[in-house]
A = this chain, B = another copy of it.
Amino acid sequence: MRSVTIKDVAVKAGVSTATASRVLSKHPSTSPAARNAVEQAVAELGFRPNAQARSLRKTTTQTIGLLLPDIRNPFFADLAHAVEQRARDFGYVTLFGNANENMEQQERYFDVMLSQRVDGLIAAPQGDRAGLVGILESGLPTVFVDRVIEGTGVPSISPDNRTGIRAAVAHLTGLGHRRIGYIAGPQSTSTGRERLQAYQEAIAASPADASPELVYLGDFQAASGAAGAHALLDLPDAPTALLAADSLMSIGAIGVCNERGISIGSEVAFVGYDDIEAFTLLNPALTVIAHDVDAMGRGAVEMLVDVLAGEPAQSRVLPSRLIIRGSTPELLEEVGP
């Protein structure tokens, strides 16, 4: 299946490859006659330009890379969708890589993106500068989304991790909770670190119990949410409220509560992370810390387009908000025996 080249088109249209190329790229200096002949030849032969050859000659590929930690996380699935649709508006195709919350696969994909000569990269990175020297030195225009790595000078669009957590802690202490268990994200990510720090600060500034046993370090995947819920609920003085730092860990933790017959809402209050649709279906529905994923994805693409145009990009932080639902009800007065 040797494919049709521009030479075949040129021969069929009775012009040179130069003219054929000019017609195809809508160069102004082409005669109507040549245009017709070439267009007809293209249609008849089913010619499809070879993107490899084109981008070898031009320096651009009309392709952007998108590197995400876990596509099965609904938050990132939504983000991928938003990025992809917006990139499309600008005529870019998205080359997608799934790092699987794994440093090694992340590096491998950085390599692939560089080899494929993507025009720019949108990444939700993990680790520190060390793992990114390859990308940083390459000069590949890059934007961080959701997660950030400090000291790299890479512009980013990320959620305000602190206010959401603060609002959640205030909400829970306002309801009377004093032991609030926290299932944290990995400290190799900025979101994991900032959220944990915000939790610790908010707890310290509140009447709630600040003992470290109330923090479980997870890895943003469902299994660790389950493990965290077990660990926290097994404490001699179990927390009366749980807070999880992402949606997958929330799912894992809620599963464990159900398994153990601990009723969310009445027996333990629960605040989840990310407003995924399934959380509204729970009974009671889940109180969550939510972000505008769509705005984040679109914003990342727009920022990258600015960088590609040589304009200086300003990092942005998007607000989070607390959506209060049934999983964090008013605490009932305890009735004495």
Of A92-100, A172-180, A201-209, the stretch lying at the interface with chain B is: A92-100
Does A7 lie at the interface of the complex (its beta carbon under 8 Å from any beta carbon of B)?
no
Does A53 lie at the interface of the complex (its beta carbon under 8 Å from any beta carbon of B)?
yes
Question: A85's contact among B52, B100, B112, B134, by CB below 8 Å, is which?
Answer: B100
List residues 45-74 of chain A with CB under 8 A from any CB of chain B. Answer: 46, 48-53, 55-56, 61, 70-72, 74
The docked-state distance in angstroms from the alpha carbon of A96 to that of B52 is: 17
Copies in the complex: 2
| Given A277-B222, A282-B281, A282-B283, also A71-B61 (CB < 8 A) | no
Residues of B within 8 A of A3 (CB): 138
List residues 69-117 of chain A with CB under 8 A from any CB of chain B. Answer: 70-72, 74, 77-78, 80-81, 84-85, 88, 93-98, 100, 105, 111-112, 114-117
* B71 in contact with A77 (CB, 8 Å): yes
Q: Would you call the interface of chain A mostly helix, strand, loop, or mixed?
A: helix
**Chain B residue at minimal CB-CB distance from A257:** B281
Query: What is the interface residue range for chain A against chain B?
Result: 35 or more
Closest chain-B Cβ to A244's Cβ sits at a distance in Å of 13
The docked-state distance in angstroms from the alpha carbon of A93 to that of B67 is: 13
Does A304 lie at the interface of the complex (its beta carbon under 8 Å from any beta carbon of B)?
no
Residues of B within 8 A of A80 (CB): 71, 98
Closest chain-B Cβ to A61's Cβ sits at a distance in Å of 7
Residues of B within 8 A of A139 (CB): 1
The docked-state distance in angstroms from the alpha carbon of A255 to that of B117 is: 44
Other than the given A258-B281, A258-B283, 11 more pairs (CB < 8 A) read A52-B55, A52-B61, A53-B56, A71-B84, A72-B81, A81-B100, A93-B116, A251-B278, A255-B281, A258-B285, A283-B283
